Amino acid sequence: MEQERRSTGKRKGVWMPFLSGLTGAVVGGACVLFMYTGDIAPSIGQTQSDNTKNVTTAQENSKNNTVKTLPVSTSSSTKDVSSMVEKALPSVVGVNNYQAPSSLSGSGSNEQEAGSGSGVIYKKSGNKAYVVTNHHVVEGANKLEVKLNEGTTLSAKLLGSDQWLDLAVLEIDGSKVKSVANLGNSDAVKAGEQAIAIGNPLGYLEGSVTQGIISSKERDLPVDIDQDGQEDFTAQVIQTDASINPGNSGGPLLNANGEVIGINSSKIAQEEVEGIGFSIPINTAKPIIETLVKQGEIKRPQMGIVPQSLNQIPTASRQHVLNLPDTVQNGAVVLNVEAGSPAEKAGLQNYDVITELDGKEIDTAASLREYIFKHQAGDHITVTYYRDGQKASAELTLEDVSK
């Protein structure tokens, strides 16, 4: 499958001592892990290998030029759709990511276009306008530009981004902006309803429109943030069969009324798979967007540990390194406890295996994060864990961390 996002900030030196004795811990699972999309299209003239930092694979585009027909909803007439699209198009933009070449790393005056994605203008206030896009579209940029639908290119300022939900907000000069998108209610969408994606596929097909349906209103998507083959987080997304290609990232998913119900983010890219794309629900995105504008970052509560899913650990290591009883099959292994963290203050140690938080069963590292992220800094939680085969518990107070 397409590995859809490059690594960001993996901790070095934390994993190796423990994992060196756990060779084969990461095995092929039944679920597909996503690193969000490789939807950043390479700049014109670049080959795929020239842009491996930003585009992992786009084999579905490069192997042939066959045009495949997408399912079309009949709930609205073609005239209705074209009229709606005409109104929505001015709020959809291209986002260009410029980075310093590796040989000139650190030089801010020699940026080259590394890739491009899409975005949507969702607000205008005074002489400023605001664009929402994906984190992975703007990641690593030395300079960002936004290209309006009518062709004007504007400098863009990154106000903030969030890698966990793959969202980012840009600020641009609002004097050239004539239209902003209408934000809808993603909670109200239903499977089978019409869905329309607008974006900048391949980096130069600006304003491309694709049509399909909502395949699933609420899909749990396992996400691999650091590309180590393990699930780090579970995102709740909208699934659609409207075509989403490299360069569509950050563009809007619209309903039949032309309202933005999602921000396109990822897809499954396998030869045998067609029409499985994912969009961040706009109701999920709204509070993140507002916080990024006000604070420039998202602060989430943390325990101060590096967890790994117990099901990634070989049976022999569970028995001889972790000394777990056979009855413990699921949980999150503590690989590292950060100095001064809530976990250290609560007495947690490396190789403890967390099985419950506040009495709620913890199956994986992803479920641990999901539970923690639903809380706030200052909240008290009870941690149930195993150490050397003995069950124990501890109380800790969550703290904020910007990530």
The answer to whether residues 336 and 348 touch, using CB atoms and an 8 Å cutoff, is: no
Q: How far apart are CA 38 and CA 56, in angstroms?
A: 6
Contacts of 54 (CB under 8 A, 6+ apart): 6, 38, 40, 42, 97, 114, 115, 140
Residue 361 φ/ψ, nearest 5 degrees: -65, 135
Q: Pull the structure tokens for residue 114.
A: 């590394």
Annotated active-site positions, please?
A: 136, 166, 249
CA distances from 236 to 186, 247, 283, 308, 312 (A): 12, 22, 11, 21, 23
Q: How far apart are CA 198 and CA 253, in angstroms?
A: 7
